[in-house]
C-alpha cells in the first residue's frame, strides 16, 4: 500500500497492492497501521457511507465545521469517478487550490481527505459506487457546500465518461444553490487553517 500526499496538504492518494488469480482479485483497501504511519494519527471510524451515481453526476463540494470536521477515506468499488479535494481552509498557504485522483475498479485507489478540506467527485460511468469511511457521523447543522462549478475554484470536470461518451455535470438542487467560495468565506462558513491545525494536532496527541 503506497501513500502519496497530494498538492493540498492533508490529502493523500492511496494505491493498494492487488493479488489476482483466476478466481478474481483481493486487496486491502484500508489498513490502520499504514494509515497512521503515513498521516500521523489514526482514523476514528464513526460512519461508513455508500453512494451510487449515474455518469455525469457531481456530488460536492462538501465540507464540515472544524472542530470536529469530517475526515473521509474514499474508494470506488464499481465504475469510476474523478475525486477532487479542495483547500477551503481560510489562511492556508494553498487556500483555493485543488487536486484530483481517479478512483476506479481497475487500480482500486483510495483518497484520504483530512478535516477541513472540501470534497467532490464526478461519476464517469453509470452505477459508479463510492464507499466512504468517515471520522464523524452525519451532522446537518455543521455541514456545508460550495458550488462545484464555481469558476473561481476552476475545477476541471471531464467532458466524456469512461467509454468516451459526452457528459455534462448533473448536480443536486442543494449543490446547485450552494454559494461560491468567496460567498462562503464572506458568510463565515469556511474553517480556518489555524483551527484545523490545532484539531489535527490534538489527534496526534
CA proximity to 123, closest of 153, 143, 102 = 102
CA-CA distance, 158 to 124, in Å (whole number)? 8
pLDDT band at 29; cut points 50, 70, 90? very high
pLDDT value of position 145: 98
End-to-end, the C-alpha distance of the chain in Å comes to 25
How many other C-beta atoms are found inside a 10 Å radius of the C-beta of residue 151? Answer: 9
Class of the domain covering 2-204: mainly beta
Chain centroid, CA 41 distance in Å = 18
pLDDT band at 103; cut points 50, 70, 90? very high
* Cell of residue 135, nine digits: 471520522
What whole-number percentage of the chain has pLDDT above 90?
100
- Is 112 one of the catalytic residues? no
Average pLDDT over residues 63-68: 97
Average pLDDT over residues 53-81: 98
- Is 132 one of the catalytic residues? yes
What whole-number percentage of the chain has pLDDT above 70?
100
pLDDT band at 115; cut points 50, 70, 90? very high
Average pLDDT over residues 22-45: 97
Looking at 62, 112, 144, 193, which residue is catalytic?
62
User: 44 pLDDT exceeds 90?
Assistant: yes
Looking at 3, 41, 112, 132, which residue is catalytic?
132
What is the DSSP secondary-structure string of 27-84? --S--HHHHHHHHSS-----EEEEEEE-TTBEEEEEEE-TTT---EEEEEEESEEEEE
Chain centroid, CA 44 distance in Å = 17
User: 45 pLDDT exceeds 90?
Assistant: yes
* Cell of residue 148, nine digits: 462545484
Cα angle: 73, vertex 79, 84; to 5 degrees: 45
CA-CA distance, 107 to 5, in Å (whole number)? 17
CA-CA distance, 92 to 15, in Å (whole number)? 27
- Tell me what the pLDDT averaged over the chain comes to: 97
CA proximity to 118, closest of 60, 174, 193, 187 = 60
pLDDT band at 9; cut points 50, 70, 90? very high
Amino acid at each position: 500500500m503506497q501513500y502519496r500526499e497530494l498538492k493540498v496538504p492533508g490529502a493523500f492518494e492511496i494505491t493498494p497492492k492487488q493479488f489476482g488469480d483466476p478466481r478474481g482479485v483481493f486487496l486491502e483497501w484500508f489498513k490502520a497501521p499504514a494509515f497512521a504511519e503515513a498521516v500521523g494519527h489514526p482514523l476514528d471510524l464513526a460512519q461508513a457511507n455508500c453512494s451510487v451515481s449515474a455518469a455525469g453526476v457531481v456530488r460536492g463540494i462538501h465540507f464540515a465545521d472544524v472542530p470536529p470536521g469530517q475526515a473521509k477515506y474514499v474508494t470506488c468499488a464499481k465504475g469510476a469517478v474523478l475525486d477532487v479535494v479542495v483547500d477551503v481552509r481560510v489562511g492556508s498557504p494553498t487556500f483555493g487550490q485543488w487536486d484530483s485522483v481517479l478512483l476506479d475498479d481497475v487500480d482500486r485507489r483510495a483518497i484520504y481527505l483530512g478535516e477541513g478540506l472540501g470534497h467532490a467527485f464526478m461519476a464517469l460511468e453509470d452505477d459508479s459506487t463510492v464507499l466512504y469511511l468517515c471520522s464523524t457521523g452525519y451532522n446537518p447543522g455543521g455541514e456545508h457546500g460550495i458550488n462545484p462549478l464555481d469558476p473561481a475554484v476552476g475545477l476541471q470536470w471531464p467532458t466524456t465518461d469512461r467509454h468516451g461518451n459526452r457528459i455534462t455535470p448533473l448536480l443536486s438542487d442543494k449543490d446547485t444553490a450552494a454559494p461560491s467560495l468567496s460567498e462562503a468565506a464572506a458568510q463565515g462558513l469556511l474553517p480556518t487553517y489555524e483551527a484545523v491545525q490545532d484539531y489535527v494536532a490534538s489527534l496526534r496527541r
